[in-house]
Amino acid sequence: MPSKFPAYIRNMNYNVQFLENQSDFDKAIKSIQAHDWIGFDTEFVGEKYFTPVLGLIQIVAGQDIYLVDTLKIKNLDLFLQVVSNPKVLKITHAGDNDYRLLFSLFDTVPQNTFDTQIAAGFVGYNYPAGFGKLVEKELRVSLAKSHTIADWEARPLDPKALEYAVEDVKYLPGLHQKLSEQLKKHKRESWAREENLKWESRSFYEVNPHKELFSSDLVHQLEFRDKIFLMRLYRWRIEKATELNVPKESVLQSRHITTVLRATKAGPNAFKSNRTMHEGIWKKNLDSWQKIRSAPVTEEEKEVLGSISRPRPENPEREWTMELLYHFVKKQCIEHSISPALLFPRGDFNRLKSRDENFDKSLLEGWRSQLMGKELVEWFKKGNKVTVDWQDHSCVIKMKP
């Protein structure tokens, strides 16, 4: 980006084109391939489907904004090539959702990314900061509050929705300019880059197929055969949701998982006595549930169950210690104007506190390690007890060896 705003960025005066046929799209994307940067956003419908429907892509490049009707334009290869091109900077806001979508639909992994929400977390904003708040604070522009509400599957698209879609990208170059200057001032450009790099690795998007099973507290309460059934039940639900392209909850609500586990072996009468589940659901699926329950156990299934860690017993001393250390982290963040939620998301911290094997150890490295300091990082890694010695006018905190 240039050191000063070009006139079209200062005045937010872009040429807007709506693309709904393949030839126009190909021509437009070829024209932006020579740019050093683009900004983009996606609009999709996810609440009704297992695999979201991509309804619109908004792209800002140079003096142009393109609105791409992805229900009519089926071949997006030229755009996906730009997304994966390391020579072109991609500017987004909360881009993880956009990149996850592009990966799930097209197996595309982005390169050379800059996210305004991440950048804002390094220069004094709470993470995750909303797009409207950033635009208002940095560019002195107020966005319409309802700009995210639209049916992106409907055709023709509501003209008002298209106006909002334009707003979602027209301010990205200006935000990039402003936030980059602040990152440079605070010497945190490399920190923001490090945080964006995680999106540029395939491993970021790959999901454990047994994620639900591993995160279930129920699995630890069951006998072996019921554990196997629970694993298969989660897998069956995903397979059905994929086949029908509906949300998993539309196939079988999570609150009914326990009912299915307990009642399937006993048969129809067990379901009839349970009024929480509509009879149409169990009548339709009972045969399938009984078949997957009675199928022989495979070596692969035994291996999956064997890899599930047993929950550690509660340790009030460790919990108190870790919470104390977390507040030291928050203090470091406050002193350096960095959002604590960006440095250490609470969910990740809870995994560290509980010694979860799925804790991402990279969260104790890189820029986070620089900010927290060697001693605090070592305390987190060792997890030893902390002693507090209250003296006359001071409080001495020490880590036991």
pLDDT, tens digit only, all 401 positions of the chain: 433 444 544 456 899 999 999 999 999 999 999 899 999 999 999 999 999 999 999 999 999 999 999 999 999 999 999 999 999 999 999 999 999 999 999 999 999 999 999 999 999 999 999 999 999 999 999 987 655 568 899 999 998 899 999 999 999 999 999 999 999 999 999 999 999 999 999 999 999 999 999 989 899 999 999 999 999 999 999 999 999 999 999 999 999 999 999 999 999 999 988 878 899 999 999 999 999 999 999 999 999 999 998 887 888 888 888 888 888 889 989 999 999 999 988 888 888 888 887 888 889 999 999 999 888 888 888 777 777 888 888 888 777 76
Domain 211-306: homologous superfamily in CATH: HRDC domain (1.10.150.80)
Closest CA to 290 of 271, 251, 264: 264
CATH dotted code for 316-399: 1.10.150
Whether 211-306 and 316-399 share one fold: the answer is yes
Q: Is the dihedral of CA 123, 91, 83, 2 positive or negative?
A: negative
Listed as own residue / partner, the contacts of 343-351 with beta carbons closer than 8 Å and 24 or more positions apart are 343/368, 343/371, 343/372, 344/368, 349/322
pLDDT at res. 228:
97
d(CA 128, CA 182): 17
The predicted pLDDT at position 1 comes to 40
Angle, CA of 197, 200 and 206, to the nearest 5°: 120
**Could you tell me the two tokens for 193?**
């880059």
- Between the alpha carbon of residue 300 and those of residues 135, 221, 306, the distances in Å are 51, 21, 10
Coil vs helix vs strand at 370: helix
Identity of the residue numbered 395: C
Burial-class residue 339 by CB neighbours within 10 Å (0-12, 13-18, 19+).
Answer: buried
Main-chain dihedrals φ then ψ at residue 208, nearest 5 degrees: -60, 125
Beta-sheet pairing, 386-390 with 113-115: unpaired
pLDDT per position as a tens digit, 92-135: 999 999 999 999 999 999 999 999 999 999 999 999 999 999 99
- pLDDT tens across 13-67, in order? 899 999 999 999 999 999 999 899 999 999 999 999 999 999 999 999 999 999 9
Report the CATH superfamily, name and number, of domain 7-204: Ribonuclease H-like superfamily/Ribonuclease H (3.30.420.10)
User: Which sequence spans correspond to the domains of the chain?
Assistant: 7-204, 211-306, 316-399
